[in-house]
Structures are given as C-alpha cells and as structure tokens.
C-alpha cells in the first residue's frame, strides 16, 4: 500500500466550476500537508501548505486537512482554463527529511 | 540565481553509459532533495541533503545511483551503467532550513533523462 493515495483522473470540468481534489494517507506521523501544481514539462510549484488539521484559504484555493480520517482536500473555486495542470498532494513528518507525494490528479478546465 | 537551476534540461544517453545531473539550489538553502518522476506518475524520493551531509539516502534505487553535495551548494546525481528503467525526469528541490524552518520546498524544472 502506498503511503499517499491520489486519484489520477483525468478530471474535466467546465470553466467556473468548483473543483475538489483529494488524497488519503496512512502514516499518522504526517503533520505538514502541501498541494503542488505542475504544468506540463515544468517543475512542481507550491500552491498551499497546511499544518495539522483545519482549513486554509488563499484566493480561489482552499485546503482542508482531516487528520482523524487521514484525508486532505484542495478546492478550487471559479476554475479557469489556466488552472489546467496536474495537482500533486504532498506531506511530511516534522523532520522534513522527505516529502511523500501522491501520484497527481490531472485537471482540465474547459473554456 | 532566483530559483533552483538544473542542468542539462534534457539528456539522451546510451544504455550502459554513466550520466551526471547537476542541481544549483537557491542561495542560502541548506536542505536539498532529489526526486524522480516517471511518466504519468508522482514524485519518488531519492535522497535528502542537509548541508553537505545526506542523512536520508533511503530512496536511491540501487548502488548505481550516488549523489554528493559540496560547499552547501551544488549537488550532482550520478547514475552509472544506465538502464532503460532509469528514464525519467529527475527533479531537485531546495528548502531554506532544517525541519519546519522555511517549509516551502522550491523545485527546479528537472532533467529529462532518456536511456536508449
């Protein structure tokens, strides 16, 4: 069993839709949770970072962490074609010796 | 430089040859990571440096893989006797400090390695 599971998609939505991306994990030591966006042939860029359980909002993006269920989510409101990319969840224990990544969900926002 | 720089951006090599991949982290970043990304897959951890030391090299897939870091700056990942299964994008990331200090890890654009 992988430590981090993520539905690979692809997920196709119309412009303006609310997008929900999710990951589950098995290691209860994870404390830091991140979402990266990766455009084709580019390196991942950090979108959101959350410590422990709770919600965090940044513009159109909201990250949620439920440690009791070992489940994290990223919501994108008013999705735009420029949001079309692969979204990777990542998590780490407190020592940050490594980040554990999901396999990524490919999102396509149609104009 | 402003970001993490990796070179070369693309490398095609013949099976059995050795390759060296280079990573220039953001200046002042003491933590450095190497990851591998196979086509359509997530990131696979290879090795973590704190300064010039590698406290976690558990992800190196075989003894054909090695990495070093000098001057708390540049890192090179060496793959000896390359195999076709080594074909992937090799990503480097750097982070400001140890532990939770400077949580954000910045990635380079990667080196796309193709073994033919």
Task: Dump pLDDT digits (tens) for B51-67.
Answer: 999 999 999 999 999 99
Nearest chain A residue to B41 by CA: give it: A103
A-interface mutation test, from B51, B105, B108, B114, most A Cβ less than 10 A away: B105
Q: What is the pLDDT of residues B12-30, one digit of tens each?
A: 999 999 999 999 999 999 9
CA distance B91 to B106: 10
CB A75 within 8 A of CB A62: yes
Q: pLDDT grade, residue B98 (50/70/90)?
A: low
Q: What is the pLDDT of residue A49?
A: 87
CA distance A72 to A91: 10
Rounded mean pLDDT, A89-94:
89
- Residue B76 pLDDT > 80, yes or no? yes
Instruction: For residue B96, give every residue at least 6 positions away whose Cβ sits within 8 Å of its Cβ, in sequence order, or none.
Output: B28, B29, B30, B31, B102, B104
Q: Which of B43, B36, B31 is nearest to B21 (CA)?
A: B36
Instruction: Give the DSSP H/E element, type plus range, for residue A66.
Output: strand A61-66
Q: What is the pLDDT of residues A30-76, one digit of tens each?
A: 999 999 999 998 999 999 988 888 899 999 999 999 999 999 999 99
Q: What is the pLDDT of residue B68?
A: 97
CA angle (A30 as vertex; A18, B95 as ends), nearest 5: 85
Q: What is the pLDDT of residue A77?
A: 98
A-interface mutation test, from B3, B32, B43, B53, most A Cβ less than 10 A away: B43
CA distance B92 to B73: 12
Nearest chain B residue to A95 by CA: give it: B99
């Amino acid at each position: 069993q992988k430590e981090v599971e993520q539905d690979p998609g692809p997920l196709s939505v119309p412009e303006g839709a609310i997008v929900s991306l999710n990951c589950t994990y098995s290691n209860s030591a994870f404390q830091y949770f991140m979402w990266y966006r990766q455009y084709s042939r580019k390196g991942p860029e950090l979108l959101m970072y959350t410590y422990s359980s709770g919600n965090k909002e940044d513009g159109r993006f909201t990250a949620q962490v439920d440690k009791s269920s070992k489940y994290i989510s990223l919501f994108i409101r008013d999705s735009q074609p420029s949001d079309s990319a692969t979204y990777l969840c990542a998590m780490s224990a407190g020592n940050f010796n490594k980040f554990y990544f999901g396999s990524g969900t490919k999102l396509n926002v149609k104009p | 430089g402003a970001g993490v720089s990796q070179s070369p951006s693309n490398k095609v090599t013949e099976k059995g040859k050795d390759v060296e991949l280079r990573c220039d982290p953001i200046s002042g970043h003491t933590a450095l990571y190497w990851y591998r990304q196979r086509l359509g897959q997530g990131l696979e951890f290879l090795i973590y440096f704190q300064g010039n030391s590698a406290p976690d090299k558990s992800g190196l897939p075989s003894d054909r893989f090695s990495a070093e870091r000098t001057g708390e700056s540049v890192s090179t990942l060496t793959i000896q006797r390359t195999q076709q299964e080594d074909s992937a994008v090799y990503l480097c990331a750097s982070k400001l400090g140890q532990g939770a200090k400077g949580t954000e890890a910045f990635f380079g654009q990667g080196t796309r390695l193709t073994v033919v």
